[in-house]
Every structure is written in C-alpha cells, then in structure tokens.
Chain A
Amino acid sequence: MSKLEQEGRREFLKKAAAGTVVTLAPGVMLHSLSAEAAPRTEPVTGKVRWGMLIDANKCAEGCNDCVAACDKENGLNLVDMPEGADESLWERQRPRWIRQITLKDNLTGRLTSLPMMCQHCEEPPCADVCPTGASFRRADGIVMVDRHICIGCRYCMMACPYKARSFIHAEVAEKLTHTPRGKGCVESCNFCVHRLDNGQTTTACQDACKHQAIIFGDLNDPQSAVSQALKKYPSVAIRDDLKLNPGVRYSNI
C-alpha cells in the first residue's frame, strides 16, 4: 500500500469520526437535557383546574394590550401576510387567539368591553366533534390541539360556540419553540400552557392588563385569587345554556 493511499485512508477515518460526532452529539445532548427536565414528563392531573375571571367593568374600550401581549407571547405577530394576498381577506384568515369585543345591550344600550378567547369548557364541543382526537382537554382543564394529529378538517371550528379557533391559512416562516405552528392545522388559546408547564402561574394577557381585568388561577384551590374573586363577585359563563361549564367566567356584562 503506498503512503499516499494510507494517508487517504487516515483522512477518511478522521472525517468519518468527525461526522459521527456531529451527527450523534445533538441526540446525546437532547437526551441529557430531557433527563434533567424529568418533572415535565409527569402527566398533568385533575387536582388543578386552570380558569379565569374577567371583569368587564375594568376592561377599557379601545385598549388592546391583552391582544398584543398574546400575539407576542404565542408568536401570532410572526404570521405574515403572504405575498399577493388580498388584505381584507387576509384579515379574516389570519389567526387570533384573543380578541376585544364591545357589546351593546339591546334593551338598555349599555356598552360593555371584554376580551374573548377559548373558554376552556369542561365539555368542549370542539373535542367532541374532532374525528382524530387532536382537539382534547387536559386533565388540568386546558383545551388544546395536538398539532401532530390535527388533519385540518375544521369541524372543531364549526362546533365551537365561541368562535375561538383559528385555522392556519398560510406557511409560517418564523415560529417560537414553545408554540409550534404549521400551515393547515387549527389552534386556539391554551392559557399559555408553556408557562404553566414551566412552573409559572400567569398568562400573558393577564400580565399585560394594566386595568387588572383578568384574574387567572386554579379554580380547584379555594385560596387562589380567582376562586376568591369568583366567590365574592357575581359572574356568568357565556352561553351558559349549553351547559359546557367553561373555565372562563365574566362579571359585569
């Protein structure tokens, strides 16, 4: 074997070894990382039921802070209008998890402002109608979509009485790690589940509301701020007639 050939072989082995390290290292890293994050692999339980009380009296008309905060927290502001799209049509196609609504009472003319989002029903119609089970309710009351098995049929959007869901109508170039998003799937507010799973106890909309109109917490804990407030003030569930027992309640509407 000539020296030249030998050197070629040595070079090849070196490169192969380097290639192997580059290929395997991320996997090994990931493995060790996930090992550290062990508590998150434990299933959520029904000991907690996340919920919210929104005081419509405190919610200021024209204020959009909760919407902006949600957009930023969940990467909705990264969803760009596709080139060549019609602007007014795109406005009706772009995703929204929370929205500001102003109501007028038909009899008295009284105006009320409130934020509206997924109401995290105990009996969610979206999960009932979903053919694959992609729409589901976690044990802790959060209703969300498993984006791996959502086929994009939009039956959940037909069934939701709160119009709380959005379909991703276009390719999304940039997305946040904690809120993956793909064209052709349905999504909605998930109470900032990534925060809760990491031990935080607030949602982005709640943090952003300078009027303190949103109280979030554990409905099962009688000492939590939300439970105390619900005990103290009269509140209603929207579309209470449907008996869905939503986790989001409103007062003063």
Chain B
Amino acid sequence: MKKIHFSEWGIDSPRYWGMLALLGAFVAVAGLSVLYMEHNGHWVTGMTNQIVWGMPHVFAIFLIVAASGALNVASIGTAFDKKVYKPLGRLSALLAITLLAGGLAVLVLDLGQPGRLLIAMTHYNFKSIFAWNIYLYMGFMAVVALYIWFMMDWRMNKYYKPVGILAFLWRIILTTGTGSIFGFIVARQGYDAAILAPMFVIMSFAYGLAVYILVLMFTFKVDGREIGDVVLRRLKNLLGVFAAAVFYFTLVYHLTNLYGTENHAYEAFILRDGGIYTLLFWGGWVFVGCLLPIGIVYHPALGKTRGGIIAAATAVILGGLATVYVIVIGGQAFPMAIFPGKTIVASGFFDGVNGQPFLYSPTLAETLLGIGGIALTLLLTFIAIRVLRFLPTSLANEVADPHYAKS
C-alpha cells in the first residue's frame, strides 16, 4: 500500500459549473415549490388530516437515514481499523453531512410554520423524540465536521480515532432516534414496534453505502481517477450484506406481526390488499431494494462488472425510497383501530369507513421539494470536493490494497 494523496476535484470548469447549474436549478425549483406551498398553505399538497406526512417526509427521512449510513465507510476505517477503508473516510464523512443537510432542509421547509424554526431551537419538550432528534442531528453535524478536520489535519491526527469512534456511536444513536419517531407511535398499527429502531439502523447502512458507492464512482469517473477492483469488491460485498440484513429485518418485522391476530388486518393491507402499498412493498421494498441487489452483487459475472455494481446501488436507493414510502404513507393510510371489535360504518371525518384506507396522491410541488433535497445534497458535496481535498487521487489496487505487495 502506497501513501495516499488527496486532491481537489479537478474536472474542467465548464463541466463543473454546468453540473452546479443543473443541480442549482433543481434546488431553485424546490425553493419555488416551498414558496408556493407556504404561500397557499398545505391544501395545494396531497396531504390531509388523515395522511399528515407525505412525499417531503419520504425524501427527508430517506436522506436523513442515508446520512448516518454514509458515515459507515469512515467508521469501518477508523473505529474498526480496516486499512483499505481509511482513504475512503473523508468523502464518507462529507456525504454524512450533506445528506443530512438535504434531508433536514426538506423536513424543515415542509413545516406548517417554517418561519418558527427558531422556536424549535429555543422551546424543548424533552419527552419528545423529535426534540431529541434536533440535538442529535445538530450534534452529528458538529461531530462529523470535527472528524473531517482531524482526518485532514495531520497535527490533529492523534485525536482522530476517538472522534471517529464518537461519530460512530453518535450515528447509531441518531438512527435509533429516527426509527423511534415511528416506533414510539402507540396509536398506529403499523408503527409501535421496537424493531423499527434497529431496522432503521440497518436500512441506513444499506442506503448510505449505496449513495456513497454511486457518488464515489461518478466523481472518480468524470475526473479520470482510478478505482481498483479491491476497493469496489469490498464495497459491493458490503452492500450485499446490508441489503440481506434489511431483508432479514423485513422478514422478522412482518412475521412477528403476523403471529398476533391484532395485526392481521394491517398485514393483509400491506402484503395483499393495499394496492399501491402492496405493489411498492413487494416490487420496491423486497424485490428492487433487497433481492435484486443481492442477486447482482453475488452473481459470479454481474457482480464483477462496474455496471452491475452501479445497478445494485441504484436498486438499493430506489427500493429504499419505496421502503420509506410504504412505512411512512402506508402506515398512515391504514385506518387506526379506534374501536377494536367494531366497524365504522359512517363518519363525518373520514375514519376509514368500512375499513377503507385513506387516500393520498402526492402533488408535483411536494415531490419537487423532495427531489430538491437530493439535489441540495449533491450540490453541497460537489462544492466541498472542489474546494477541499476529500478525494484520494487514486484508489487503484496498488495504492489502496494493504496486501498488494504480498499478493
């Protein structure tokens, strides 16, 4: 293994500014969507008094979950001392911050009163996991920023490992907190399960790594930097393990639900009768998000190709968005069991008459806001790697593989 050098992203200016302009346009469109939604009120969205969290939350939660997962690559290098991961740490930590920034921006801009953000920073109810999350998110950004500094500055190198371990522990707590937002909701059949917290942690591993792989391959490709098979093989095998772990948690979550009669109606809704939610569960969550990437990654031929790795990572991301959609929207669409043992046959406020699920069709504005979050993440990432030395000049086998000399 040779000494690793880092350098700024060196692609030529027209191409760079073109990319920034394109991403900036998406962010601007998202900004206009926010103005439109905030000016009119949420009646211009598909969200209602039944489906209170919609498309913006799907994107925001996906990005926030992916943020903590993106840090994994750095953690494996620092907290678990895997040498081959060390050069990958800077970009990993950067993506953790930019993904979180993108997700939080979407979340905050969907508030009914986004202007009252200062109130959220000054008034706390510490029994609320939401309030804790505000600290966890802000603290995460600060700890990871420190981590990046210590990784980059050789004078701070001796503190780099403790901060790396702190960042790793922080991220586990953070995603546990995000999963608990749903896990703590006792009122709804699809939530109120302790398994949601660790399931969110494992989902974060998969989504964050998938985003990391795609950003790494793209930034290296356009800049003419080399990634050797040693690094890619490790990353894609890890992705396969994470996708399999998500599948395992999915199985346990639904199988334990199926055991208890009280959850049968909810399970029938998600697994069999839920229309779009059933389709997204089997097609998106299970097939595209889990089985397809596992199949590609461990396929003897496909798994070795770069196209295969890109396809697997893309599938994990698309499947992940479907997963979050089924959890967030599907969980609300299923009517709450307010009167167990009884069926509501008439209601003046849409109580799921005769067990009918609640309707939700996202509008363009709220979807554009969500997509804007992804654009913001990439925009911030591309600016950062252009001005600071986040990317190794090469990840070729002879540079990145600690066992290269021996083999």
Say yes or no: is A107 at the interface (Cβ < 8 Å to chain B): yes
Cβ–Cβ contact A163 & B351, under 8 A:
yes
CA of A180 to CA of B119, assembled, Å: 19
On whether the beta carbons of A93 and B112 are closer than 8 Å, the reply is: no
Quick check: A67 and B117 within 8 Å, CB to CB? no
Contact B117 A131 (CB under 8 A): no
Whether, in the assembled complex, B348 has its beta carbon less than 8 Å from a beta carbon of chain A, the answer is yes
Contact pick for A131, options B120, B343, B349, CB 8 Å:
B120
Stretch at the interface among A7-15, A30-38, A42-50, A145-153: A145-153
Contact of A93 among B49, B120, B125 (CB under 8 A): B49
Does B22 interact with chain A (Cβ within 8 Å)?
Answer: no
Chain B min CB distance to A99 (Å)? 4
Tell me which of B52, B114, B185, B348 contacts A99 (CB under 8 A).
Answer: B348
Interface residues of B in 50-75 (CB under 8 A from A): 50, 52-53
Please, what's the 1-or-0 string for A124-140, where 1 marks a CB less than 8 Å from any CB in chain B?
A: 01011111111000000
Q: How far is the CB of A164 from chain B (nearest CB, A)?
A: 9
| Neighbour of A64 across the interface among B52, B129, B181, B348, CB < 8 A | B348
Query: Which residues of B sit under 8 angstroms from A106, Cβ to Cβ?
Result: 341-343
Number of interface residues of B (CB under 8 A): 52
CB of B379 to closest CB in A, whole Å: 26
Q: Is the CB of B53 within 8 A of A93?
A: no
- Give per-residue flags for A94-126: 1 if the beta carbon is below 8 A from chain B beta carbons, else 0: 111001111111110001100010000000010
B112 surroundings in chain A (CB, below 8 A): 150-154, 167-168, 183-186
Contact: B186 with A125, CB < 8 Å? yes
Q: Contact: A158 with B188, CB < 8 Å?
A: yes
Bound complex: CA of A165 vs CA of B40, how far in Å? 21
Chain B residues with CB below 8 A from A150, complex form:
112-113, 116
Residues of B within 8 A of A85 (CB): 43
Which residues of the other chain, A, contact B38 by a CB distance below 8 angstroms?
Answer: 184
Contact B359 A92 (CB under 8 A): yes
Shortest CB distance B179–A (Å): 14
Q: Which of A67, A95, A111, A167 contacts B345 (CB 8 A)?
A: A111
Q: Which of A101, A107, A129 contacts B341 (CB 8 A)?
A: A107
Docked Cα-Cα span, A169 to B342, in Å, equals 31
The answer to whether the Cβ of A90 comes within 8 Å of any Cβ in the partner chain is yes
Scan A153-185; emit 1 where CB is below 8 A from any B CB, else 0.
111011111110111111100000000000111
* Chain B interfacial positions (CB closer than 8 Å to A): 38, 40-43, 46-50, 52-53, 111-114, 116-117, 119-120, 123-125, 127-131, 134, 181, 184-188, 332, 336, 338-339, 341-351, 358-359
* Additional 17 contacts, C-beta under 8 A, given A102-B347, A185-B113: A82-B43, A93-B48, A101-B347, A107-B341, A130-B128, A132-B123, A152-B116, A154-B53, A158-B52, A161-B186, A161-B336, A163-B50, A166-B49, A170-B43, A183-B112, A184-B38, A238-B339
Interface residues of chain A, those whose CB is within 8 Å of chain B, are 61, 64, 67, 82, 85, 89-96, 99-107, 111-112, 116, 125, 127-134, 149-155, 157-163, 165-171, 183-186, 238-239, 242, 253
Nearest 6 A/B pairs, CB to CB: A152-B112, A184-B112, A161-B187, A99-B349, A131-B130, A92-B48
